[in-house]
Structures are given as C-alpha cells and as structure tokens.
Chain A
Amino acid sequence: MGAQPIGFEALGVAFLLVSVVIAISRGLGLGLERQLLVGAARTLLQLSLVGYLLGWVFQASVWYWTPLLLGGMLAAGVHTAGSRTAHSVPGSIGRLALAMGVGSLLVLLIVIFAILQPDPWFSARETVPIFGMILGNSMIAASLAMERYGADLKARRGEVEAALSLGLPVRQAAASIFRGAIQAALTPSISSMMVVGVVQLPGMMTGQLLAGADPTQAVRYQIVVMYMTTSAAGITAALTVLLCERGCFTRAHQFAVE
C-alpha cells in the first residue's frame, strides 16, 4: 500500500502551514515575512526543477550524467560553506573544496560499491540522493570546523604564540583548538545518532515508510545513512582542520596572518 499522490491542492494546503509562521512574524514584528516567502518560493522552485531534472536523468540512464550532477552538487555545497565561513581562514574555498570533496566522495564510493551495489553502478537513482545526504553533512561539518578553528585561533592567539615561542610545534601549541574544532563539527552527528528513532524518525526513513516500504528494510537503510553521514562529517572535519592549520601557519611554525 503506497501513500496518496500529492496534488497541487495538497501543496497549497501545505503552504498554509508556512503562512501561519508568516502571520506570527507579522503579528510579533519579527520582520521575517519576506524571507519566509522567498524561502517557500525557492523550496517550490528548486525542488520542482530537481524533480524534473532527476526524472529526465533517470530515464536517460547515461553514465556521465552522474558525475556531472555530483560535481554540480559539490560546487554548490562548497559555495554555501564558503559563504558561511568567509575570511575565517586564508584560502578557505580551496580548502573547503578539497576537504568536502575527499570526505564525501570517499564515503560515497564505499556506500555505492560495498553496501548498495546498484546496477549499473553509476545509477543516478541511488548515487544522487545518497550523495545529497552525505554532502549535506559534510558541508555542515566543514563550515563548523573552519569557523570554530578560525575563531578560536583569533581569540587565543596570545596563548598559541606563547607556546610557539617556547619551541612547541604548531600542532602542540594549538592542540586544544585543533581538537575543539573537530569535536564541534562532530557534535551534530553524534547527537543525531543518540536520538534517532527515539525523538525523530529521519526524512529518508519516513519517506520510505510513506512510500510503502518494509519497515525492517527502511530501518536498515536509515542505519546505513546515519553511519555514512557521521563518517563523512568526521573525515571532512579532520581534513578541514588539517588544511586550515596549513593555511594559518607557515612551515617555520609562525602565524601566516597578522
């Protein structure tokens, strides 16, 4: 038994839910009406476009569409993460691209070839949504790690310099900042793993259940999703901080920025 197809009337009803928040914003003077409207419109437009695009790609079933789509998603992810972390670390875009690219693609390859094994392997129906979930977590981890590392290094520069001036290498002089940034980036993933299935049923599992999938299989898919997103977040965060460290210090263990 599948869920009822959603018609345009149903979408209109769903929009009423957002209009409640717009009314609250207006009533309380929050000034968010315009942003909420634009956000709702972008959700409608972006997802509709993606829906049509995916439908077309699934039908075409040509291998090169998959890497093209993944590349486009990665570029958009790096751009978003970069706009959140602007100026926190020199050369942030390149560092984000490398960390997010390696972290998310590595996990995607393992999930595709060792777990899901779709036929054909480049099947966009599997790789694109899976990569979307991995990349989303990778992006958040990269932003959190870079922002935290840059901010802590600025705030605790005196302490780090004192340690450097005593002959400690950068990694030891800024050890707690290095670790703190990775810990901060991993906190959302760890929190999600702690409460999943208890406080919330995640989107992918809910979607599968609504589409009439067997709950046991839906749960197993969700377990894979939780593990892969945590893995992507961890690898991306560690790489981001390593690359930030290389950008913030010279080979002579000096601050690279004044």
Chain B
Amino acid sequence: MAFLRLNSVARRRRQRNPNGVFQEVPLFEGLNAEFRAGEITFLTGPSGCGKSSLLRLLNRLEDPQSGVIHFRDRPLTEYPVLELRRRLVLVRQQPTPFPGTVLDNLLHVPLLLGHPRRESEARATALLGEMALPTELLPRSAGELSVGQLQRVCVARALMLEPEALLLDEPTSSLDVASAEALRTAMQRRRDENGLSAVWVTHQTTEPAAVGGPVWLLEGGALTPVVPAVATGALT
C-alpha cells in the first residue's frame, strides 16, 4: 500500500504576463508518483519547478486543479482537512515563529487541541533534546533565535503533533553545517526508531545519500524517480 500516491496531479499558477495581465501558467501536469511509508523520500529539481507547491498540495494548503492525491489509499479531500494537516505536517522553508517563547511555540497547537499541559511540556523538553538544542532555550523569545535554532524549533513544533509524516521544505537550506547535520541525524533517528515518514525537498546534492531514501526529480513539469546509481552521478 502506497503511503502517498499522486495520480495525474496538475497545478497551475497565476502569473503576470509582460503586458501586466494575470494569466494561468501550468506549474506541472500529469504528475504520477508513489511514496512509501517509513521512508524519507527526497524531492529535487531546479528552482521554481514546483517542489514547494507539491508539498503545499500534500498538506492541502492548496488543492490541485486536476488529478487526485491519495493518502493511505483515500483521496486527501476525503479526510477532514485539519486532521489531515496534523497527520501530514508541513515545515516551511522560511522558519516562522509564533509570538512568544520557544515553549509557547511548542505548546501553542497542543494546548489549543486540549492536550494536557504537563505531558506536552515534557514532550517539548524531550523534542528539544532530540533536535540537539539546549533546554535553556525554552523560556527564550523565539524571535531571538538564530535561523538554525529556529528551523529546528519549527521541526520540533511539527513533531509535537506526533504526525505520520513530515513535509520538509528545504529545511537545511539556510542552516550552518552543524545545525544541518543535527537536523539530518534527528530525522534519520525518527525514521529508524519511530517509523516516521517524510517528503523532503532539497537542493543539497549530498543530502539524499547522507540520510538515505528514494529520490524523485521534478523537472519540466514531470516527476520521475531517480535510480540510485544514476542519482549519485546526477546529484554529485
């Protein structure tokens, strides 16, 4: 059973033409793919090819103009949208903190969902450790953190919901080497020990080999699997 399956998925984007008039331009059409559970699937491709848009479709921040995306053999649109987003959580490329402290950021959604505070706090502390961040950060204002720290807090914030999959949009692109390594290690461990699935958009050519997982190339409006041997050659 495919974890996520794309059937003829198309997405168009509104864009101004040279005369300043808005028109719809295809971003991709007829995308077909299958992503398996318990794996970290990498999405790669040139800038502007629609990788981030594809993640937004999986999280239903947007819907495709045509085609169907199945999650565990049911169309995404058959799930209550808010429940779906908590099962397939998107971590945006630009880490965006909520107002307040790091702890406020981690507890914001769980408390609104009615989770007990004490358990959520324990979980927040554990997740911060998992992301190789010191617990001293918890009372600090999230806006004061470095980008590397903030991105890892955003991943921890997503993991607070105990999702089935993370949708990671270039999570390491603006991180320093140590922060990126810490994040990769945390994701590997989550996959290997907890069976977490992920769809990971990356520009870093060495990232798929470092973490391990199938690679798909989105280019020219088409999504194709990259054979590992070729992938090494193509990506390095």
A residues in contact (CB < 8 Å) with B: 158-159, 161-169, 172, 176, 252-255, 258
Contact = CB atoms under 8 A, between A and B. Distances in A.
Contacts of B60: 252, 254
A88 to B, nearest CB: 18
B63 A168 contact: no
Interface residues of B, number: 28
Contacts, number: 57
Contacts of B61: 161, 164-165, 254-255
Given A163-B109, A166-B161, A252-B60, 6 more contacts: A162-B96, A162-B98, A165-B85, A165-B92, A167-B84, A252-B81
A121 B1 CA distance: 72
Nearest to B95: A162
A248 to B, nearest CB: 14
Sorted from nearest, which 4 A-B pairs have the closest CB atoms? A167-B86, A167-B85, A165-B90, A162-B96
A168 B96 contact: no
Contacts of B99: 176
Which among B14, B91, B96 has the highest number of chain A CB atoms within 10 Å?
B96
B59 A165 contact: yes
B89 interface: yes
A166 B86 contact: yes
Given A172-B112, A252-B60, A258-B14, A165 B89 contact: yes
A254 B62 contact: yes
B157 interface: yes
A254 B122 CA distance: 32
B98 A159 contact: yes
Contact of B96 (A159, A252, A255, A258): A159
B94 interface: yes
B82 A168 contact: yes
Contact of A166 (B63, B81, B89, B94): B89
14 contacts: A158-B94, A158-B96, A161-B96, A162-B96, A163-B98, A163-B108, A164-B61, A166-B85, A166-B109, A166-B157, A167-B83, A167-B86, A253-B81, A254-B63
B158 interface: yes
A169 B113 CA distance: 11
Nearest to B105: A162
Contact of B89 (A167, A252, A253): A167
